[in-house]
Amino acid sequence: MSSPSPDYTLYLVTGRELLPPGKDYYESLNESLEGGVTIVQIREKNTDTREFLEIAKRSKEICHRYGVPLLINDRIDIALAMNADGIHIGQSDMPIEIARKLLPAGSIIGVSVNTPAEAEEVVKGGLADYVGIGALWATNSKKLTSPVLGIRGVGPILQTLEKTSIKAVAIGGIKSSNLLRSLHGAVSPNGRALDGIAVVSEIVSSHQPSVVAQRLCQIIRASKDQPFNLFSRIYAEPPTAQVLVDSAAHLLRSVKEYRPLVHQITNNVTINQLANATLALGASPIMATSPHEMEDLAKIPGALLINFGTISDKEGMLAAGHYANLERKPIVFDPVGIGATAYRRTTANELLNTWQAAVIKGNAGEIASLIGSNEVKSHGVDSLGSGFSSPKEILCALAKRERCIIVMTGETDYISDGNLTVKLSNGSALLGDITGSGCLAGSTVATFCGAENKRSKRSEPSSGEVEGILAAGDMFVGAIAGVLTLTIASELAAQRPEVHGTGTFLSALIDELYNLTPEKIIQRAKLEVV
Ligand SMILES: Cc1ncc(COP(=O)(O)OP(=O)(O)O)c(N)n1
Ligand SMILES: Cc1ncsc1CCOP(=O)(O)O
Ligand SMILES: [Mg+2]
């Protein structure tokens, strides 16, 4: 009978050169195991064989006291000499076919992969117990021979493992500060997640490796406890259109009650409009862009909007999103004009690898560019043509790939969390005639996501409790509320007698946002579950 599969939850890869001054290696290893490390790999890149063998033997004794398997990096001779539980080999190390022949039956063998093609080779070979996917983030602990993968590169690799029993850990630059972001994003479109994460410096360089290991385990387990969460409520029964409209409409009360801070890094064309729309709804806008104040701002309850219409504050956008994830605040990303230039596409990729959006909002051209479809073209910041033949299919696929809510605005608006998709048909044609109506939608969506996040966290987590999700609350309803308020306010504005053109329309629009009530939303909403 084959031995049970190891627990890959918290995989320590050793690195003696990273120990803090005066910290004994064996003491650090023992404390790491006390803290919850579940599998260990001894990695010695510049050590003589005799010393490596001695370290491996003593490390195995310590690991086995905790029932934790010990693997050896690269060196099969060492693994054989001290009867290790297995080895980890990279793409340029001993081929797995030979390793499998040389090692005792039942040995654990792991292989490094950096691309879906490399993972497919492992699946085809059928000899590996697990793959090490990375590097997820930049790292100083290994001179990388392949480009940094990024969080969003993990999903396609996990997809190749979906019908296999091969386990998967991620490695490279993983810290307590980016772990939840990493776990949320590193999932295949069909929901295949990691079996664990591998860490070197965050644990080894600590004076208290047990505390670090414990914290990492808490975050991993809290994240695993979350259902396949795409920032939306899990319904026992699919909600009706009326349930969604009522929930969205009543969220307006939470905006006025909690006055969420809506931190908006946006373009210089519409910044004033967005701030006034946020104030009109009853929330509190701040349009800060310096990276130096993002840690403080993230601590104030609310939401973050990142609109990259004019990408002049990329460092601020990177920092703001990182801290918003850390503080579990929802991020709304508006990749304005992403189809227009390669620079916008690479910047969007960098931003989305760094932080996890709760909502991505765009017009059809921008959504097409994100998902790589040619069905709809972009023209600058605008979208050409009549849209997708199957908007629901496109939005579900993108929501599952990006692991968040997708909002597609246009003459008809669509919102999807990957399972549920709604079609919204409110809105005045004049919205399309003013600049920044799409940007306004991003701002109103962020406003309601901030209110929903605050409403759902009325009871702050008890001290020490680790939250397993990046933004509490139903961001799907938040997004619906944001779109409905803007489009219904635009209908009311267009009907006002003093409105004779786009100039009077814009000021009437702000008025109608200011005077909006849940009753007006419920009365006028045109929403279908599709
Ligand atoms: C768990 C895990 N994943 C990846 C690696 C990297 O192995 P490799 O590509 O062979 O590089 P070196 O570690 O040998 O420098 C790993 N060691 N462990
Ligand atoms: C061994 C290895 N393989 C890919 S990245 C890496 C080092 C990861 O170290 P750290 O966790 O300190 O970034
Ligand atoms: Mg190697």
Ligand 1: centre distance to CA 130 (Å): 12
Report the pLDDT value the prediction gives residue 520, as an integer from 0 to 100.
Answer: 98
Report whether pLDDT(461) > 90. no
Token pair listed for 131: 């793959």
% pLDDT > 90, the chain: 88
Question: What does the domain layout of the chain look like in residue ranges?
Answer: 10-225, 241-529
Cβ neighbours around 373 below 10 Å, total: 16
Token pair listed for 488: 């219904």
Ligand 1 site, residue 132, Cβ cutoff 6 A: yes
Closest protein CA for atom 8 of ligand 2: 172
Q: Which ligand is nearest to the CA of 138?
A: 2
Judging by DSSP bridges, how do beta strands 86-89 and 70-73 pair with one another?
A: parallel
Ligand 1: centre distance to CA 89 (Å): 6
**pLDDT tens for residues 330-378?**
999 999 999 999 999 999 999 999 999 999 999 999 999 999 988 888 8
Ligand 2 site, residue 110, Cβ cutoff 6 A: no
State residue 453 phi and psi, 5-degree precision: -65, -45
Ligand 2 site, residue 199, Cβ cutoff 6 A: yes
- Cβ pair 28, 213 in contact under 8 A: no
Ligand 1 site, residue 93, Cβ cutoff 6 A: yes
Ligand 3: centre distance to CA 92 (Å): 7
- The CB-side HSE value for 206 (13 A sphere, CA atoms) comes to 21
Ligand 1 site, residue 169, Cβ cutoff 6 A: yes
Ligand 2: centre distance to CA 477 (Å): 39
Measure CA 432 to chain center: 31
Ligand 1 site, residue 432, Cβ cutoff 6 A: no
Ligand 1: centre distance to CA 201 (Å): 14
**pLDDT tens for residues 60-84?**
999 999 999 999 999 999 999 999 9
Four-CA torsion 505, 365, 369, 425, nearest 10 degrees: 80
Q: What is the DSSP letter of 375?
A: S
Answer whether 10-225 and 241-529 agree in fold. Answer: no
Report whether pLDDT(311) > 80. yes
- At the second CATH level, the architecture of 241-529 is 3-Layer(aba) Sandwich (3.40)
Pocket-testing residue among 10, 73, 157, ligand 1, by greatest number of atoms within 8 A of Cβ? 73
Residues 6+ apart with CB under 8 A from 211: 35
Buried b (16+ CB within 10 A) or exposed e, 243-260: ebbbbbbebbebbeebbb
Mean pLDDT of 470-474: 92
Higher pLDDT, 477 or 226: 477
Nearest CA to 297 among 271, 265, 335, 269?
265
Catalytic residue among 63, 404, 439, 449: 439
Report the pLDDT value the prediction gives residue 229, as an integer from 0 to 100.
Answer: 62
Report the pLDDT value the prediction gives residue 510, as an integer from 0 to 100.
Answer: 98
Q: Would residue 449 show up in a list of annotated catalytic residues for this protein?
A: no
Average pLDDT, the chain: 94
Mean pLDDT of 28-53: 98
Ligand 1: centre distance to CA 131 (Å): 10
Relative to the CA of 91, which ligand 1 atom is closest?
9
Report whether pLDDT(445) > 80. yes
> What's the CATH fold of domain 10-225?
TIM Barrel (3.20.20)
Ligand 2 site, residue 200, Cβ cutoff 6 A: yes
For residue 513, give the 3-state DSSP assignment.
helix
Element (H, E) at 180: helix 176-185
Report the pLDDT value the prediction gives residue 515, as an integer from 0 to 100.
Answer: 98
Ligand 1 site, residue 210, Cβ cutoff 6 A: no
Q: What is the DSSP letter of 434?
A: S
Mean pLDDT of 19-26: 97
- Cβ pair 11, 196 in contact under 8 A: yes
Q: Where are the alpha helices (DSSP H) in 299-436?
A: 314-326, 342-354, 364-371, 391-402
What pLDDT band is residue 1 in, cutting at 50, 70 and 90? very low
Three-class secondary structure assignment of 8-50: CCEEEECCHHHCCCCCCHHHHHHHHHHHCCCEEEECCCCCCHH
Report the pLDDT value the prediction gives residue 44, as an integer from 0 to 100.
Answer: 97
Whole-Å CA distances, 189 to 131, 171, 374, 421? 19, 20, 21, 16
Token pair listed for 134: 């990375």
Report the pLDDT value the prediction gives residue 296, as an integer from 0 to 100.
Answer: 97
Closest protein CA for atom 13 of ligand 2: 173
Report whether pLDDT(496) > 70. yes
